[in-house]
Amino acid sequence: MIPMSDSSSLFSHLVELRSRILRALLAVLLVFLCLVYFAQDLYHYLAQPLMAVLPENGQMIATDVASPFFAPFKLTLVLSFFIAIPIVLHQVWGFIAPGLYANEKRLVAPLLLASTLLFYAGIAFAYFVVFPLAFAFFTGVAPEGVAINTDISSYLNFVLKLFFAFGVSFQIPVAILLLCWSGATTPANLRQKRPYVIVGVFIIGMLLTPPDVISQTLLALPMWLLYELGILAGGLYTGKKTTNNNNKEPE
């Protein structure tokens, strides 16, 4: 039988969790309502990297009757979530913060901010750097006599997957810092693995980008630089932690 105090505590946590989730959903909804009027314009802007490299007779098409409505609607909904991520993470932080120690709070809050900024940076990098190169390659290798008419829903699904992939891959510094914080590894160990990491990021670049050296390098180099940034951040945190431990007075 659950004690009355534990039951009340669990109920209060569930109520707060529901409140936090509702606030996060409300933030996404408010952003969506502000953007839905511009849904067609947003999709047009998203399609620019492909439209800019299509041949003279190339165009985007809708193979489903409802695609002209649902594709911009889906894009606006996903974009609303991306824009509202700071508020969503703030609600997550507000829920977990009371259960953290002071030193954990000092680490988690900056990590949430850094994770958000890096996610946005990954999306921007994909749109402004990778998309123009990738779509130019894809349209350039089309066999003679093949008309390039991309379905708007298929294009949306493709770019959203790349957005997510690049947004997640740009979380490398945060992941490294968390690994160092948990004691799973150290900056020294990560430096020793640098040659394997360099080979690994170029393999990932080969798998995620078209088979040309330029686009592969444009993905691999940022991932390598983010890895080095993560090692630097992990070294600073480890050094600060060691200094704080040495400054503690023995009991």
Domains of the chain, by residue range, sit at: 11-170, 171-241
- Per-residue pLDDT tens digits for 176-190: 888 888 778 888 888
Predicted confidence at residue 4, as pLDDT, reads 47
Lowest model confidence (mean pLDDT) among 43-57, 133-147, 203-217: 203-217
The CA-based diameter of the chain, rounded to the nearest angstrom, is 81
Contact 139, 55 (CB under 8 A): yes
Spatial distance between the Cα atoms of 163 and 116, rounded to a whole number of angstroms: 14
Lowest mean pLDDT among 23-32, 98-107, 156-165: 98-107
Mean pLDDT of 9-26: 86
The answer to whether residues 180 and 75 touch, using CB atoms and an 8 Å cutoff, is no
How deeply is 63 buried, as exposed, middle or buried, from its count of CB atoms within 10 A (0-12, 13-18, 19+)? exposed
8 Å CB contact between 30 and 83:
no
Q: Residues 170, 208: contact at Cβ < 8 Å? A: no
Residue 45 pLDDT class (50, 70, 90 cuts):
very high
Distances in Å between the Cα of 125 and the Cα atoms of 74, 118, 122, 229 are: 22, 10, 5, 17
Note the pLDDT of residue 250.
45
Distance, in Å, from the CA atom of 39 to the CA atom of 36, rounded to the nearest integer, reads 5
Instruction: Determine the Cα angle at 113 with ends 73 and 168, to 5°.
Output: 55
Query: Binning pLDDT at 50, 70 and 90, where does residue 202 land?
Result: confident
Q: What is the pTM of this model?
A: 0.81
